[in-house]
Chain A
Amino acid sequence: MFFKFIMRRLLYVIPMLIITTLIVFSFILLIPGDPALALLGENATPEKIAQIHAQLGLDQPVIKQYLNWLGNAVQGDLGRSIFTGQPVEEAVFSRLGVTFQLVIVAMIFAIAGGLFFAITSIYFPNSWMDYVARFFGTLGTAIPNFWLGMILIIFFSLQLGWVPATGFTSITESPGAFLQGTILPAIALGATGMAQITRHLRSSLIEVMSADYVRTGFSKGINRWQAIMKHGLQNAMLPVVTTIGILFGNLLGATVVIETVFAIPGMGQLAVNSILQRDFTMLQGVVLVLIALIILINFITDIVYALLDPRIEY
Chain B
Amino acid sequence: MKITESPLLEVKNLQTYIKTKKGEIKPTNDVSFSINRGEIVALVGESGSGKSVTSLSIMGLNASAIKYKPESSIEFKGRDLLKLKEKGLRKIRGNEIAMIFQDPMFSLNPVHPIGKQIAESVVLHKKVNYKEALKRALELLNKVGIPDAARRINDYPHQLSGGMRQRVMIALALACDPELLIADEPTTALDVTIQAQILTLLRDLQQELNISILLITHDLGVVAEVADRVLVMYCGKVVEEGTVDEIFDSSLHPYTRGLMSSIPPLHGISKDLLDAIPGVVPNPLELPKGCNFVTRCDFATERCHQVEPELTRYPSGNRVSCWNKLDKEGEMKEHVTTSINS
Please report A residues at the B interface, Cβ cutoff 8 Å.
211-223, 230-231, 234-235, 308-311
Contact = CB atoms under 8 A, between A and B. Distances in A.
B93 interface: yes
Nearest to B120: A220
Contacts of A212: 101, 103, 106-107
Given A212-B101, A212-B103, A311-B158, A220 B124 contact: yes
27 contacts: A213-B106, A213-B108, A213-B109, A216-B99, A216-B109, A216-B169, A217-B109, A218-B61, A218-B93, A219-B94, A219-B101, A220-B121, A220-B175, A221-B94, A221-B95, A221-B125, A222-B90, A223-B86, A230-B120, A231-B109, A234-B111, A235-B110, A308-B111, A309-B110, A309-B111, A311-B156, A311-B158
Consensus secondary structure, chain A interface: helix
Given A219-B61, A221-B90, A213 B107 contact: yes
Nearest to A309: B111
Interface of B: 59, 61, 86, 90-95, 98-99, 101, 103, 106-113, 120-121, 124-125, 156, 158, 169, 172, 175
A235 B157 CA distance: 14
Contact of B111 (A217, A218, A310): A310
Given A216-B172, A310-B156, A221 B110 contact: no
A220 B110 contact: no
Contacts of A220: 93-94, 98, 120-121, 124, 172, 175
A222 to B, nearest CB: 7
A310 B101 contact: no
Contacts of A215: 61, 101, 107
Given A212-B107, A213-B106, A309-B110, 20 more contacts: A211-B106, A213-B107, A213-B110, A215-B61, A215-B101, A216-B108, A216-B169, A218-B93, A219-B94, A219-B98, A220-B93, A220-B98, A221-B90, A221-B93, A221-B95, A221-B125, A222-B90, A235-B110, A309-B111, A310-B158
A304 to B, nearest CB: 13
B183 to A, nearest CB: 12
Nearest to B59: A219
B209 to A, nearest CB: 18
A126 to B, nearest CB: 11
Contacts of B98: 219-220
A216 B121 CA distance: 10
